[in-house]
C-alpha cells in the first residue's frame, strides 16, 4: 500500500459536507491547478514551510541548520536547493514559524484522530471528509480508512479532482462512501491542460460513469466547480459544464466562490504563483458575479 503523507486533520469543519465534519487532508495531487487553494498539498513529498509572521527572529534555526540553507537576506528565507529536508530547523523553532508539512499516520492513527469527534458527527448529521490534495492517489490507504470508519457508523464523503482509475476506485473506495463531491473545473480540454497540467478526458468519463452507477443507490454525487476569475467563471465554460450535467440528468451542483487567500500559503512553501501581486486573482468575488454564475446553472435547470 502506498503510504500517504497527511497535511492535517481538521475538526469542526462546517463547509466540507453536511453537519460538523472532520476533514483528512492528503498531500499530493495528479493535477497542478494554477490557482490551487491548498498549494502545500500539490506535492506528495514532505516540505518545509516558513511563516514570516510567526517568526520572532531568535535565529535558533540558523544555528540548527547543517546545510546553511537559511538566510534572512534571502527572499522566502529558505534556499530550497540546498535544503535536505532534515527538519532540524523546525524542531529548533520555538514559534512554529518553520514547520514540517506532511506527516505519516497509520490508517488506525488517522481513524482515532477523527473518531474523537464522533459524538459531534452524530448530533449534527456530519461525518468524515477525505480531501486534499487528492485522496484517490492513495486508494488502498483511503479505502482502508473509509472501511474502518464505516464500520464505526461514521458517514463519509470524498472530495476529488476526478482523475483516477475507475476500476480500482470501484474496488477500493466507492462502496465505503456516502457522498462524493466531484470537481469539474474546465470543460475545454486544451484549457484544462493549460491550467491544471492534465487532460480532462478521464475526469469527465469518470464523472459520467459515477453518475450512472450511483443513480438509484444511496451514494450521492455532487458535481462542483470552483469559480476562478477569468478562468473557470466564464460564460462559455460554465454553460458548457451546466449543459453536460443537465444532459446527464444532474439536478443539483455546487459553485464555489473564489478564495484568494491561497497566495500567502503558496509563498510559505515556495510554490509557483504565476498571478503577480495584484488584480482579480487577489480579490474576493463580488456578489454580482456570483449571481451571474449561478444564473447560468439555473438556466440549465440545475440548482446550486
Partner 1 sequence: MLLYVESGAESKKSFTNTTMRLLLNLVAAAFNLRPSLNRYLRAQDGWLNFTVGVRTESGSVSCAIEFREGRVSVLSSIPERSEVVLVFRADAAVKKLLGATPTDQIYMLLKSELRVEGHMGYMNLFFFLLSLLMHKKQARQMAKERDRSKRSLLKSSPRPDTSLSGELASRRSARMRGERVDAGVKHLEDPYLPEYSLEDFPRLKRFLDIHLSVKPEVCPEMPEILTRWHRQHGYETDREGRPWNPILRKGEAYKYFMEQRRPIVAEGSLLAGTTTSRQVGCVVYPEGSGTLIWNELFTISGRTYNPFDISEETRELLHFRVFPYWNNRNFREWVRAKYGNPLCQQIDERYAMYFSWKQATISHTIPDFPKILRLGTAGLMEEIRREMERPDNDEEKTATLKAMILTLEGLRAYAKNLAERAALDAGAESDPARRGELQYLAGICAHVAENPARTLDEAANLVWITWVALHMESMNAGLSIGRLDQWLQPFFESDMARLYSEEERRAYIKHAVELVGHFLMRCTDHFPLTPDLANFYFGGSSSDQVITLGGVTSDGEDAVNDMTYIFLKATEMLSLRDPNMNARFHPGVNSDVYLRRLCEVNLITAATPSMHNDRAMFAALEPMGYDIRDIRDWSATGCVEPTLCGKHIGHTNMQMMNMVAALEMALHDGRHPLTDWKLGPDTGDPAGDDFKSFDEFFDAFTKQFAFLIDRSIEYNHMLAEAHQYLRPTPLLSSLIGGCIEKGRDVTKGGAIYNSSGTAIVGLADVTDSLMAIKKLVFEEGKVAFADLKRAVDENFAGDPALLALVRNRVPLFGSGNDEAVAMANRITKWAHDYYGAIPHYRGGKYTTGFWTMSQHVVFGTLSGALPSGRLAGKPFTPGLTPQPTASKNLLDNIRDVARLDPVNLNNNIAFNVKVVPSPSDSHEKTVHDMFSYVKTYFELGGMQMQMNAVTSATLRDAMAHPENYRNLIVRISGYNAYFVTLNRDMQLELIERAEYRI
Contact residues toward partner 1 (CB under 8 A) are 10-12, 14, 19-20, 54, 56-58, 60, 94-96, 116-117, 119-120, 122-124, 126
Residue 4 cell numbers, joined: 500517504
CB nearer to partner 1: pick between 119 and 301: 119
Q: For the CB of residue 55, give the shortest distance to partner 1 in the complex, in Å.
A: 9
Q: For the CB of residue 94, give the shortest distance to partner 1 in the complex, in Å.
A: 4
Q: Strand 47-50 vs strand 220-226: parallel, antiparallel, or unpaired?
A: unpaired
Q: Give the integer Cα–Cα distance in Å for 300 and 78.
A: 49
CB nearer to partner 1: pick between 123 and 288: 123
CB nearer to partner 1: pick between 15 and 278: 15
CB nearer to partner 1: pick between 12 and 264: 12
Q: For the CB of residue 9, give the shortest distance to partner 1 in the complex, in Å.
A: 9
Three-state helix/strand/coil letters over 148-212: HHHHCCCCEEEEECCCCCHHHHHHHCHHHCCEEEEECCCCCHHHHHHHHCCCCHHHHHHHHHHHH
Residue 149 cell numbers, joined: 470508519
Q: Give the integer Cα–Cα distance in Å for 169 and 180.
A: 12
- Whether the upstream peptide bond of residue 133 has omega within 30° of 0, thus cis, is yes
CB nearer to partner 1: pick between 4 and 126: 126
Q: For the CB of residue 300, give the shortest distance to partner 1 in the complex, in Å.
A: 22
Q: For the CB of residue 253, give the shortest distance to partner 1 in the complex, in Å.
A: 17
Q: Give the integer Cα–Cα distance in Å for 97 and 84.
A: 18
Amino acid at each position: 500500500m502506498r503510504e500517504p503523507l497527511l497535511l492535517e486533520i481538521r475538526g469542526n469543519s462546517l463547509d466540507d459536507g453536511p453537519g460538523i465534519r472532520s476533514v483528512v487532508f492528503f498531500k499530493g495531487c495528479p493535477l497542478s491547478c494554477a490557482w490551487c487553494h491548498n498549494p502545500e498539498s500539490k506535492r506528495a513529498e514532505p516540505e518545509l514551510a516558513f511563516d514570516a509572521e510567526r517568526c520572532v527572529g531568535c535565529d535558533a534555526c540558523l544555528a540548527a541548520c547543517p546545510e546553511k540553507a537559511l538566510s534572512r537576506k534571502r527572499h522566502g528565507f529558505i534556499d530550497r536547493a540546498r535544503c535536505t529536508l532534515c527538519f532540524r530547523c523546525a524542531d529548533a523553532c520555538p514559534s512554529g514559524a518553520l514547520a514540517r508539512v506532511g506527516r505519516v499516520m497509520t490508517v488506525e492513527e488517522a481513524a482515532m484522530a477523527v473518531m474523537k469527534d464522533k459524538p459531534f458527527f452524530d448530533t449534527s448529521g456530519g461525518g468524515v471528509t477525505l480531501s486534499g490534495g487528492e485522496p484517490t492517489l492513495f486508494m488502498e490507504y483511503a479505502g482502508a480508512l473509509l472501511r474502518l470508519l464505516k464500520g464505526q457508523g461514521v458517514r463519509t464523503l470524498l472530495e476529488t479532482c476526478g482523475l483516477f482509475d475507475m476500476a480500482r476506485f470501484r474496488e477500493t473506495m466507492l462502496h465505503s462512501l456516502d457522498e462524493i463531491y466531484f470537481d469539474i473545473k474546465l470543460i475545454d480540454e486544451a484549457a484544462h491542460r493549460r491550467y491544471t497540467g492534465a487532460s480532462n478526458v478521464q475526469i469527465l468519463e469518470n464523472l459520467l460513469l459515477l453518475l450512472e452507477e450511483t443513480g438509484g443507490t444511496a451514494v450521492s454525487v455532487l458535481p462542483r466547480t470552483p469559480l476562478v476569475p477569468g478562468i473557470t467563471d466564464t460564460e462559455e465554460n460554465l454553460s458548457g459544464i451546466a449543459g453536460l450535467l443537465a444532459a446527464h440528468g444532474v439536478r443539483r451542483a455546487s459553485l464555489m466562490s473564489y478564495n484568494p487567500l491561497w497566495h500567502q500559503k503558496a509563498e510559505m512553501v515556495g510554490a509557483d504563483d504565476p498571478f503577480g501581486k495584484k488584480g482579480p486573482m487577489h480579490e474576493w468575488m463580488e456578489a454580482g458575479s456570483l449571481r451571474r454564475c449561478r444564473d447560468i446553472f439555473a438556466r440549465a435547470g440545475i440548482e446550486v
